[in-house]
Structure 1
Amino acid sequence: MTIKAVLFDLDGTLLDRDSSLLAFVNDQYDRMPAFQAVEKEQFVQRFIELDNHGYVWKDKVYQQLIEEFEIADVDWADCLHDYVSSFQQHCIGFANLQSMLAKLKEHDIKIALISNGFGQFQYDNFKALNIEHLFDEVLISEWEGLRKPDPAIFHRALTKLGVTAEDALFVGDHPDNDIRASREVGMRAVWKRSAPYESVEHANAVIDDLEELITIVLP
């Protein structure tokens, strides 16, 4: 069966969020003297733990950090504002991201993004990867009023692309939001192996490198 469209998750799939967050936190620590009352390695490690791979929003993370380390002369809201406005400067894509997408476009494969998260924040991070020109559609949960794993957001993307679920493939890192959900609407699903998940059910294929997707889509 020919694949006419490939739809992607963002964080943990195209965006190397763990590396991006590490780069951001190190930079923010260096820029904010109040944080430097805490040893840098300890501060960064605790931030990463509290972030929980992006599933805890940063208002909670900053409030917890300030309380735990008894950091004075800093407001969590100012820290959050800095995160929202500056994170995009540290976005790192996974290896072979650009070449993989370009190869798909060379073969007239339609490409879309479906990402959960805050609209402008996620879109800015997406744009920072310099891949926007390769995408036919971009759906972000806040702007759509829908979130994965709701099947409606997958159906909306497919309708925008003008393809059926049977002709589309979804690539993501989350076992439920990406793999199970896309399979349940009739799409094939590829799991981009990602921590903290050791394995997933229902995936049609598993990849460690984005380049591996080419042989799946264009056998």
Structure 2
Amino acid sequence: MVKAILFDLDGTLLDRDSSVKNFIHCQYDRLNRVVGHILRENYVGRFLELDQRGYVWKDQVYQQMVKEFGITEISWEELLQDYIDEFKNHCVPFPNLIRVLEELKSRNLLLGMITNGRGQFQMDNIKALGIERYFDSILISEWEGIKKPDHEIFKRALERLKVSVSQSVFVGDHPENDVKAARNLGMKGIWKKDSQWNGVEADYIVNDLAEIPLLI
């Protein structure tokens, strides 16, 4: 019997691709005085390339951009701080997010979250989505000192929820860090489909969060 549903954040609950595009366009406009000598499409496109869908921290991204584009009136540290301060204002949820969380909670299911990333940055994004109150436990890799796909962070989440692996389901978009890691531990793994990957092994595959309550 399923007692707990655990989720990844980026690419699963947070539409990170849309969020980061919103942010970088707005950063270009907001800081146009110091980056306006760069064509918008070049500034935005290079950021997205270097970002590698969030797997490269932005200190490296902005250092490279400052160097490549000859940005002299603002430092990479200031650009990074702008990202940290402003990204939360551009968070885009996937469709049906709140409705699905409310439905799962109405069934008295425990909800957990395990996300890789910087602690306060990720928590700010969770709060920006308005979903913190739905979760009984939230684990962020920086604060835990371990990250997915390490089994220990999954075990820690289950311990805090006081459930066993057989009573738990994990939902994520990354085939290795989320689905495979959870399944290797003995949890059921639901893959939130991402066009970047094909042939992912999972117990279930969903295109939309609204499909999850139907599976539980």
Shorter-chain TM-score bucket reads over 0.9
User: Normalised by the size of structure 2, how large is the TM-score?
Assistant: 0.97
Aligned residues: 215
**Which segments of 5 or more consecutive residues in structure 2 lack a partner in the other structure?**
none
Alignment partners' CA distance in 1, 2:199 and 2:192: 10
Q: Quote the residue 1:69 is aligned against.
A: 69
Return the offset for 1:70. Answer: 1.7
Structural mapping, 1:151-166, within 5 Å: 151-166=151-166
Q: For residues 95 and 19 of structure 2, what CA distance do their matches in structure 1 show?
A: 13
Return the alpha-carbon distance in structure 1 between the equivalents of residues 59 and 14 of structure 2: 22
Distance in 2, Cα, partners of 1:97 & 1:178: 19
Measured in 1, the distance between the counterparts of 2:48 and 2:25 equals 11
Q: What runs of 5+ residues in structure 1 fail to find an aligned partner?
A: none
**Structure 2 counterpart of 1:53, which letter?**
R
- Whether 1:3 aligns to 2:2 is yes
Which residue does 1:49 correspond to in 2? Answer: 49
2:110 maps to 1:110: yes
Give distance in 2, aligned partners of 1:199 and 1:47: 29
Q: How large is the Cα RMSD of the aligned pairs?
A: 0.9
Alignment of 1:138-177 (within 5 A): 138-177=138-177
Q: Deviations over 1:172-196 (max 9, x none)?
A: 0111110110001110000011242
- 3-state DSSP of counterpart to 1:108: coil
**Distance of 1:102 and 1:212 partners within structure 2:** 14
Aligned to 1:213: 212
Tell me the equivalent position of 1:38: 38
Q: 1:120 to 1:195 in 2, by over 3 A?
A: farther
- What is residue 60 of structure 2 aligned with on the other side? 60
* Equivalent-residue separation in structure 2 for 1:53 and 1:90 (angstroms): 16
Mapped to 2, the partners of 1:60 and 1:39 lie a distance apart of: 21
Report the AA paired with residue 216 of structure 1: L
Distance across 2 between alignment mates of 1:56 and 1:197: 19
Partner of 1:83: 83
**Correspondence for 2:16:** 17
Q: Classify the secondary structure of the residue corresponding to 2:114.
A: strand
Question: Are 2:148 and 1:133 equivalent residues in the alignment?
Answer: no
Matched residues, percent identical? 50
Structure 1 segments, 4+ long, off by >4 Å, are none
Q: Cα 1:54–1:132, aligned 2, differ >3 Å: closer, same or farther?
A: same
User: Shift of the alpha carbon at 1:81?
Assistant: 0.6
Distance in 1, matches of 2:13 and 2:106, equals 19
In structure 2, what is the Cα distance between the partners aligned to 1:204 and 1:198? 15
Mapped to 2, the partners of 1:126 and 1:196 lie a distance apart of: 24
Amino acid at match of 1:129: L
- 2:23 maps to 1:28: no
TM-score, normalised on structure 1?
0.96
